[in-house]
Chain A
Amino acid sequence: QITLKESGPTLVKPTQTLTLTCTFSGFSLSTSGVGVGWIRQPPGKALEWLALIYWNDDKRYSPSLMSRLTITKDTSKNQVVLTLTNMDPVDTATYFCAHLISVATFDYWGQGTLVTVSS
Chain B
Amino acid sequence: QSALTQPASVSGSPGQSITISCTGTSSDVGNYKYVSWYQQHPGKAPKLMIYEVSNRPSGVPGRFSGSKSGSTASLTISGLQAEDEADYYCSSYTSSSSLYVVFGGGTKLTVL
Interface on A for B, CB 8 Å cutoff? Answer: 37, 39, 46-49, 52, 60-64, 66, 96, 101-107, 109-112
**Which residues of the other chain, A, contact B64 by a CB distance below 8 angstroms?**
none
Given contacts A52-B100, A102-B52, A106-B36, 11 further A-B contacts (CB under 8 A): A46-B103, A47-B103, A49-B91, A60-B98, A62-B99, A62-B100, A63-B1, A63-B98, A103-B34, A104-B34, A104-B36
Count of inter-chain pairs, beta carbons less than 8 A: 73
Q: Which residue of B lies closest to A64 (CB)?
A: B1
B70 contacts the other chain (CB 8 A): no
Question: Residues of A contacting B105 with CB < 8 Å?
Answer: 46
For the complex, would chain A's binding face be called helix, strand, loop or mixed by DSSP majority? strand
- Cβ 8 A contact of B103, one of A49, A60, A101: A49
B residues near A102, Cβ cutoff 8 Å: 34, 51-52
Return B99 CB to nearest CB of chain A, in Å: 6
**When the two chains form the complex, which single residue of B45, B93, B94 contacts A111, counting CB atoms closer than 8 Å?**
B45
Bound form: Cα–Cα A85–B25 in Å = 32
Smallest Cβ distance from B50 to chain A, in angstroms? 10
Interface centre among B32, B45, B98 (most CB of A within 10 A): B45
